[in-house]
Every structure is written in structure tokens, then in C-alpha cells.
Amino acid sequence: MPAPMTRLRDEHDNVEKLLKILESQSTGATGGRPDYGLMEDIAEYFLTYPDAVHHPCEDMVYVKLAERRPDQAREIGDLVTEHGRIADATRSLANTLRLIDQDGAVTHHEFHAVVQGFVAAQRAHMQKEEVVFFPAAEQTLTAEDWNAINIQFEVHTDPIFGHNLEERFVTLRNRIFSWNDDSSPC
């Protein structure tokens, strides 16, 4: 599998870990008050890495696919615009959490709806990529295409799951790795 594809798929697994945390916090599965600070860290991470690095890498793959197989790209739909909408949803999540932090008027219903909408949109998006977009790209792009994409992708490091953990995400990373799929979500 081309290196960028392996990384993009691994990053979907990482995103799913964070979605599980968001979900468990918003549904009250953890008991007690949601940890809004932890959720703010998650929103910050989405703005810093998936929206700023993962999606732009997929955009490069999509543009190359559209060049080589416009029919396949049409079938997938406008992925670049979809990434823009997802980034809007991240900002909306971050704003909602910030408002709660500042004791702004956000009802539990609004909070729950924003989080659930974000989680559902992320999952639907990743599912579409894994079922339609990634296989089409793997089938169509050449080794030269992948090398060119990899050169631009590999200079970016994931601030939580990469080799250089950023200080601001230490708490979040510890929470992620303090449980696995078989234990209770934090």
C-alpha cells in the first residue's frame, strides 16, 4: 500500500478513538458532568491536525484522481468542499465548548446535538473515503503520484499520535492511552 494511504487509514483509526471519547462524554456514559476541557482539547486537535494536514493530503490525492479519472472523482463528489464543511463543523464544536467554558447560554440539548452531529458527520465522511475514495485512488494513482504526495505529507507530524507529542496535548494523549477498546471510555 502506498505510504500516504497507510498513514491516512491509520489516522482514521486515531480519529475514531477521539470520536468515541466525545461520544461517551456527551451521552453521559462516563457518569457525572462532561469533561469540557478534554473535549476542547479534542476540538483543538481536530483543528490542528485532521483539518489542517489530513484533509489537505486527501485533497492532493483527490485532485490527482480527478486529473486521471474525472469519472471516478465525479462519483465521489466534491471532496475538497466536503472537507471545508467538516472544518466548519469543527469550528462550531470548538465555539460551543468555548461558550460553555465561559458560562454562555448553551442548553444540554444544543451541546448534545452539536457533538452528535460532529461525530456522525466525521464517521460518514471516513466511511465514504474508505469504501469509495481510497480504493479508487489506490487503483488509479501511479507510484510517481504517491511519491510526490508523500514528500509533502511526511513533513507534517501528528501532535498526538506522531513522534513529537506537543505539550498542549499531553493531557489528552494520556487520557487516550489510559484506556483501550476493551475498557471503559474516559
Which residues would be at the binding site for Fe ion (CB under 5 A)? Answer: 55, 58, 129
Nearest in space to 80 (alpha carbons), one of 106, 61, 98: 61
Minimum CB separation of residue 16 from Fe ion in Å reads 11
Of 42 and 100, the one with the shorter C-beta distance to Fe ion is 42
State the minimum distance, in angstroms, from the CB of residue 73 to Fe ion: 14
Residue 178 C-beta: closest distance to Fe ion, Å: 26
41/58 with CB nearer Fe ion: 58
Least distance in angstroms from the C-beta of 57 to Fe ion: 9
- Dihedral sign, CA of 182, 184, 185, 186? negative
- In order, the DSSP letters of 110-178 are HHHHHHHHHHHHHHHHHHHIIIIIHHHHHHH--HHHHHHHHHHHTT---TTTSSS--GGGHHHHHHHHT
Q: Which of 17, 98 has the CB closer to Fe ion?
A: 17
DSSP 3-state of 103: coil
Q: By C-beta, is 56 or 185 nearer to Fe ion? A: 56
